[in-house]
Amino acid sequence: MEYEAVIGLETHVQLRTRTKMWCGCVNEYGAEANTNVCPVCLGLPGVLPVPNAEALRKTALTGMLLNCNVPSYAKWDRKNYFYPDNPKNYQLTQLDFPSTIEGFVEFEFGDGTERVRINRAHLEEDVGKSTHFADHSGVDFNRAGVPLLEIVTEPDLTGADMAYEYLNALKAILEYGGVSDCDMEKGQVRCDVNISVRPIGQTKLGEKIEIKNMNSFSGVRRAATYEIERQIGVLREGGTLIQETRRWDDAVGVTESMRTKEDAHDYRYFPDPDLMPHAPSEEWLAEIRASVMELPLARKQRLIADYHLPASDAEVFVGDAALGDYFEVAAKGAKNPKAVANWVMNNLQAKLTETGGSVADLNFEASAVGELVGLVEGGQISSKIAQDVFVEMFESGKSPTTIVEEKGLSQVSDSGELEAFCNEAIEANPGPAEDFRNGKEAALNFLKGQVMKASRGKANPQMVGELLKKILGS
C-alpha cells in the first residue's frame, strides 16, 4: 500500500513594532536580561493591557498580503497554563474571532505554482525566555509581551520539501511587507508542524502528530522527512499511531514523544474581560489596503513578463526589493531591459559592494542608468566607454549624456575617419593582415583591437570589423 503525508503548519512570527503588544516597553532583541520590562509585561498585580495600534495595523496588513479576510469583529481570549516564563500564567491570544481569516499563499514548487490555504493569522503575545543553570533557572522577560502573529495553514502541504518552500515564501512575504524581520537566529520565527499519513485514496485524515517548537526551516524539512517515514513505517508494520506531541532532536535526527492526547493541556480559554473587541473601521482598513505592496511571486512573474528577464534575474530583483525598484525606474522605456538589468546587477551592484553603500545613497537618478544603457544600445558610445562614463557618474553625479559631451567620448561612426584608422592598423601590422587574408579569422580581432586602441575606444567596433573585412578582402 502506498501512503501520502498531510502537513499543516503553525508559524509564530514576531512582529516588528517599536513597542510591545500591551505596554510601552521597547521591542528589541539582545538587551540585557529584564531591562525592557515594566509592571504590565511582568504581570504585576493590578496591571491592564492596552493594545498596540502598530501591531494591529501590521496584523491586518499581513492578512491582506496573505489574501485573508479582515473581519469586522475580532476579540481576545485568555489561554490558561502555568509556566515560569508566562508572566500572567495566561497568554492573551485570539481563539474564535481572530483578526484575519481564510487566505492563501502561492509559491513556486517543482515545475509549477502551489497554493496553500491559510486558516487564519491571529495576534497573540510572546512569553519570556527561560535559561537553565546548574542548580537554578532564570527567566528573561524582555521578550514577554512582544507581539506574535500565529499563521495557521490548512493541511494542504503534501511533503517536507513543500513545507520548506512554503516557509521560505511566507518569510519573503513577511519581509516584503515590513511586518517582521523573520530573523531565525533571534528566534523571531518558530514553527509547529502537524503531520499525519494515510493510504493514498483515503479521504479521512490519519492520527495527527504535532512537532513543537521548530526554529529553522531546514529543521522543519528534516523533521518532517523523518516523521513521515516513521509514521509510514509504523503503519506498514501493522502498528497504530496515536495523536501526540513530539519533539525534534536535531543532533540525533529523530522525533521523540513528549505527551499524548490524554495529558494534553486544557487551556480553559475564555474571552479576556480586560480588552474590548477590535472592530476595524472601513477607513482604517482602506488606509492599510492602500499600503499593500506587490508580493514576491507576483513581482517575479511581472518582471519576467514585462521586461523579458530570465527567471534568475527576476529572482535577484525580488530578493533585493530596493534594487528591484531601482531597476524598474532605470528600465522605464528601455528598448533592451535585459541590458539595463545587466548593468544594475553587475556594474551597479559591484560598485555598491565596493563603496558599501545602497541604491538610496547614489547621487544620480535610476533613470541615468537607463540613459547610459540607451547610449550604448544606440551606438553613441561603446560599452567600454560606458564603463568610464559610469565611474564618472558615481563621482560627479552628472548625467551620462553630459559626460559624453563634455569629454568628447562619442563613438566614431564616421566611415571616412574609421577607414583611416583601419588603414593605419593594416599598414602597421602586415603580418596579421596577411594571416587574415589567408583565412585566419582570429587575426581580425587583433587588428580590431589596434583600431580601438588608436581611437581611444571611441571607434564603433561593429563598423570597424566590417571596414577591416572590406579593406582586406578587396
Partner 1 sequence: MPHTLTISQLTDKLAQGELTSREATQACLDRIAAVDGQLNAFLSHDPEDALAQADAADAARAAGEIKPLLGVPIAMKDVIAVNGHPLNCASKILGDFNSPYDATVTQKLCEAGAVIFGRVNMDEFAMGSSTENSAFGPSRNPWDTGRIPGGSSGGSAVAVVADECIASIGSDTGGSIRQPAALCGCVGLKPTYGRVSRYGLVAFASSLDQIGPLTKDVRDAAIMLGVIAGEDQRDSTNVPEPVPDYTAALTGDIKGLKIGLPKEYQVDGLDPEVKAATDAAVAELEKQGAEVKEISLPHTEYAIATYYIIATAAASANLARFEGVRYGARVDGASPEQMNRATRGAGFGEEVKRRIILGTYVLSSGYYDAYYLRAQKARTLIRQDFLNAFKEVDLIASPTTPTPAFKIGEKSGDPLQMYLSDIFTISCNLAGLCGISVPCGFSKEGLPLGLQLLGKPFGEPNLLRAAHAYEQATDWHTKRPQLA
Binders of partner 1 among 24-43, rule CB under 8 A? Answer: 39, 42-43
Tell the smallest beta-carbon distance from residue 332 to partner 1 (Å): 47
Distance CA 328, CA 313 (A): 12
Distance CA 166, CA 151 (A): 12
Choose between 130 and 346: whose C-beta lies nearer to partner 1: 130
Choose between 236 and 268: whose C-beta lies nearer to partner 1: 268
Distance CA 285, CA 112 (A): 33
**6 belongs to the binding site for partner 1 (CB under 8 A):** no
Tell the smallest beta-carbon distance from residue 286 to partner 1 (Å): 24
Q: What is the dihedral of CA 459, 461, 464, 469, to 10 degrees?
A: 170
**47 belongs to the binding site for partner 1 (CB under 8 A):** yes
Tell the smallest beta-carbon distance from residue 144 to partner 1 (Å): 10
Query: What are all long-range contacts of 390-396, with beta carbons under 8 Å and residues at least 24 apart?
Result: 390/343, 390/347, 390/351, 393/364, 393/368, 394/351, 394/355, 394/362, 394/363, 394/364
**274 belongs to the binding site for partner 1 (CB under 8 A):** yes
- E strand intervals along 322-414: none
Tell the smallest beta-carbon distance from residue 32 to partner 1 (Å): 17
* Helices 296-307/160-176 angle, 10° precision: 80
**78 belongs to the binding site for partner 1 (CB under 8 A):** yes
Choose between 212 and 398: whose C-beta lies nearer to partner 1: 212
Choose between 135 and 395: whose C-beta lies nearer to partner 1: 135
**84 belongs to the binding site for partner 1 (CB under 8 A):** yes
Query: Which one of residues 201, 238, 273, 356 is an interface residue with partner 1 (CB under 8 A)?
Result: 273
Q: Which residue has the cell 485514496?
A: 201
Backbone angles phi, psi at 455, to 5 degrees: -85, 5
Choose between 36 and 380: whose C-beta lies nearer to partner 1: 36
> Please, which residues have CB within 8 angstroms of residue 294's CB and are 6 or more apart in sequence?
302
Q: Which residue has the cell 528577464?
A: 309
CB contact at 8 A, 217 and 172:
no
Tell the smallest beta-carbon distance from residue 263 to partner 1 (Å): 13
**89 belongs to the binding site for partner 1 (CB under 8 A):** yes
Number of residues that bind partner 1 (CB under 8 A): 32
Query: Which one of residues 90, 107, 166, 436 is an interface residue with partner 1 (CB under 8 A)?
Result: 90
Query: Which one of residues 8, 49, 145, 432 is an interface residue with partner 1 (CB under 8 A)?
Result: 49
DSSP letters of 374-394? HHHHTTSS-HHHHHHHHHHHH
Q: Which residue has the cell 545587466?
A: 342
**Among 369, 329, 374, 336, residue whose Cα is nearest residue 352:** 369
8-state DSSP, 95: S
Choose between 73 and 270: whose C-beta lies nearer to partner 1: 270
Binders of partner 1 among 111-140, rule CB under 8 A? Answer: 137, 139
Choose between 42 and 293: whose C-beta lies nearer to partner 1: 42
Choose between 128 and 374: whose C-beta lies nearer to partner 1: 128
User: By rule CB under 8 A, what string of x and - marks binding of each residue 136-175 to partner 1?
Assistant: -x-x-x----------------------------------
Binders of partner 1 among 286-345, rule CB under 8 A? Answer: none
8-state DSSP, 31: P
Binders of partner 1 among 430-459, rule CB under 8 A? Answer: none
CB contact at 8 A, 15 and 134:
no
Q: Amino acid identity of 249?
A: D
Choose between 268 and 470: whose C-beta lies nearer to partner 1: 268
Distance CA 355, CA 344 (A): 15
Choose between 89 and 113: whose C-beta lies nearer to partner 1: 89
**268 belongs to the binding site for partner 1 (CB under 8 A):** yes
8-state DSSP, 32: P
> In this structure, is the dihedral angle defined by the CA atoms of residues 453, 455, 460 and 462, taken in order, positive or negative?
negative
Tell the smallest beta-carbon distance from residue 259 to partner 1 (Å): 14
Choose between 24 and 310: whose C-beta lies nearer to partner 1: 24
CB contact at 8 A, 208 and 243:
yes
What residue ranges bind partner 1 (CB under 8 A)?
39, 42-51, 78, 80, 82-84, 87-90, 137, 139, 141, 266, 268-270, 272-276
